[in-house]
Chains A and B, each alone.
Chain A
């Protein structure tokens, strides 16, 4: 829940640290870091973290990255703020901060500090001043000038021999212009030129480069607060107080999305959250929705939530209500922007909300940390926050007219790229909830699997599917045997070997088309070229328990035979949440492999082999291939 950096908040954090409740102290601070831009929160966070460090406690991080920060200004303050913002998103960022202004030298020079750091991510953080654009150029020069100013950055993106992911800050359009409002229509005005530079960067970034839209961020807090000229002249650090926190927070959120840490499901309360009033007491026609100031505000909030759903956020309801009366507004009132089929799961009963949300998490197969819960009632928020600390709880107790701002104030819903699967996800999760229902009725698991009428398309990886494949390796935590996080570039390298086998799996069933939800890569093993090592085998959690892994292995094994491999080797690398596949290979009849599998066994994992030459391809019984 979001608080306020005030005296009470400070004392609470200090008390938690004094009592050595470091976990609680960090959680209190983290909530504020995710939702506020206050520099004081970052200062308090530094104190909490240094106390934690002295006590030998480290906040849990789900990803570790090596981040190089290249700025055209004194980067120390942004870097320090960014490290804390990353930690709030679950990212432990080992930082390398390049000397002031040494962008090309660090990126292009052999043996630079950056090269020695071997970064996984490189942040390029320039300001508009670096573009060196004139206030007003002749119209005829505009395209050339904008092109030359923009080129500097993409030319650096491609120099990534070390395979790091680039995250680029965009440029802020100036808020002052000597030609006034004419700047909007003159292509050679600095205002128009900077807009054009941003447009070109977006066009060239493709899906490989992460962009942070600084223009939008600066506009949000007001451009006069974005740059603080005093700090620039005194310390070569350009950003104002609010800007630093906001920029760090949003940069970390974009990184989190790329690393698969963004939230995926929004759990909504109903009464006084999606409409005004209590439907069970005020009646269907007594609630406020669509008309009047409050009704319009609720409708606008629903509209924003619906747009989130359209871009791939899964929606769920957790309401203390009779189910029939809770559903009625969705069925009866045309002013409701959200419809029942926008929700993957609808829980309305009288249990504590934490129980409802735990059920939602389980039914959808999404971890609690992938859930954001919103409710207008502080007591409900406190109950969920206390019982399920991994869920991000946002309390909508402010003005009804500002609900969208309250929701967007907490950055958990960034997305590195939109793929076709994102918009299909809602239907797919709803189908999963229906399939869970069906499982209760089906007498045996075989009957259940058959009743799903599953059809699959297993295809060679190609240009149209590689982004989705990279996304899956980054985001899949449960059904993922090796937890190898591949970038697009790494996958391209794997696929370039003619011996390697890279397959995507699309699955349809009687309820929905799930899109690409499975991935299998097999490559020649380093020690035995005739053994096909399964580098990656993963399934989106939506389709766990459908035998889709058998289907992928069936295709991998028959392609492996075609490629002349004699055995297939599967390994399990243990992680935080993938224990459900620890014994997958032995369950499928693989035999324990000789050797230690590169130390995997010592680390709690295992290596197994399947003899292709004597046993033939693996069979898949419940899924049919479709052209």
Chain B
């Protein structure tokens, strides 16, 4: 898997499902800048990223403060 337009689009859709349609996504966005990104949203993100991309994310996806960019890297690093 590489970071191309279709990857970014799929990523955007997962975020839109969880944070609402029409959200603007940049790599810098994280829990510090998006109020709705709480621990509940974090669970949903992990669930849906794993289902969408067919992978299992490491524990740190949940435990650490993440951003859109760092989650993208985690997904790419853990994809087959």
Interface residues of A (CB under 8 A from B): 7, 10, 14, 17, 38-40, 43-44, 47, 50-51, 76-77, 80, 230-231, 233-235, 237, 240-241, 244
B51 within 8 A of A: yes
Partner of B52, one of A40, A76, A234, A235: A40
The residue among A10, A50, A235 with the most chain B CB atoms within 10 A of its own CB is A235
**Contact assessment for A235 and B62 in the assembled complex, using a CB-CB cutoff below 8 Å:** yes
Chain A residues lying within 8 Å of B21, measured Cβ to Cβ, are: 14, 17, 47, 51
A-facing mask of B31-66, CB < 8 A → 1, else 0? 000000001101110111011100000010011000
**Contact assessment for B17 and A43 in the assembled complex, using a CB-CB cutoff below 8 Å:** yes
**Contact assessment for B17 and A234 in the assembled complex, using a CB-CB cutoff below 8 Å:** no
Shortest CB-to-CB span from B61 to chain A, Å, is 8
**Contact assessment for A39 and B40 in the assembled complex, using a CB-CB cutoff below 8 Å:** no
Nearest-neighbor residue (CB-CB) of B62 within chain A? A234
B76 within 8 A of A: no
Shortest CB-to-CB span from B24 to chain A, Å, is 16
Chain A residues lying within 8 Å of B46, measured Cβ to Cβ, are: 230-231
Nearest-neighbor residue (CB-CB) of A235 within chain B? B39
The DSSP consensus for interface residues of chain B is helix
**Contact assessment for A10 and B42 in the assembled complex, using a CB-CB cutoff below 8 Å:** no
Q: A230-B59, A230-B62 are contacts. A47–B52 as well, Cβ < 8 Å?
A: no
Chain A residues lying within 8 Å of B59, measured Cβ to Cβ, are: 230, 233-234
Number of interface residues of B (CB under 8 A): 21
Nearest-neighbor residue (CB-CB) of A45 within chain B? B17
Nearest-neighbor residue (CB-CB) of A18 within chain B? B21
**Contact assessment for A43 and B62 in the assembled complex, using a CB-CB cutoff below 8 Å:** no
Chain B residues lying within 8 Å of A17, measured Cβ to Cβ, are: 21
**Contact assessment for A77 and B63 in the assembled complex, using a CB-CB cutoff below 8 Å:** no
**Contact assessment for B17 and A235 in the assembled complex, using a CB-CB cutoff below 8 Å:** no
Chain A residues lying within 8 Å of B43, measured Cβ to Cβ, are: 77, 231, 234-235, 237
Instruction: For the complex, give the distance between the alpha carbons of A233 and B60 in Å.
Output: 11
Shortest CB-to-CB span from B5 to chain A, Å, is 14
Nearest-neighbor residue (CB-CB) of B18 within chain A? A43
**Contact assessment for A10 and B62 in the assembled complex, using a CB-CB cutoff below 8 Å:** no
List 3 A-B pairs, minimum CB-CB distance, nearest first: A241-B47, A43-B17, A234-B62
Instruction: For the complex, give the distance between the alpha carbons of A226 and B44 in Å.
Output: 15
Instruction: For the complex, give the distance between the alpha carbons of A17 and B20 in Å.
Output: 13
Chain B residues lying within 8 Å of A44, measured Cβ to Cβ, are: 17
Chain A residues lying within 8 Å of B62, measured Cβ to Cβ, are: 230-231, 234-235
**Contact assessment for A39 and B20 in the assembled complex, using a CB-CB cutoff below 8 Å:** no
Chain A residues lying within 8 Å of B48, measured Cβ to Cβ, are: 39-40, 43, 241
Q: A39-B51, A231-B62 are contacts. A47–B20 as well, Cβ < 8 Å?
A: yes
Shortest CB-to-CB span from B52 to chain A, Å, is 7
Instruction: For the complex, give the distance between the alpha carbons of A14 and B22 in Å.
Output: 11
**9 residue pairs from A and B, CB less than 8 Å apart:** A10-B17, A40-B14, A40-B48, A43-B44, A47-B17, A231-B46, A235-B40, A235-B43, A235-B62
Chain A residues lying within 8 Å of B14, measured Cβ to Cβ, are: 40
Instruction: For the complex, give the distance between the alpha carbons of A531 and B20 in Å.
Output: 57
Given contacts A234-B43, A237-B43, A244-B47, 20 further A-B contacts (CB under 8 A): A7-B13, A10-B13, A10-B17, A14-B21, A38-B51, A39-B47, A39-B51, A40-B17, A40-B48, A47-B20, A50-B20, A230-B46, A230-B62, A231-B43, A234-B39, A234-B42, A235-B39, A240-B47, A241-B47, A241-B48
Shortest CB-to-CB span from A20 to chain B, Å, is 14
Instruction: For the complex, give the distance between the alpha carbons of A17 and B22 in Å.
Output: 13
Shortest CB-to-CB span from B40 to chain A, Å, is 5
Instruction: For the complex, give the distance between the alpha carbons of A398 and B65 in Å.
Output: 43
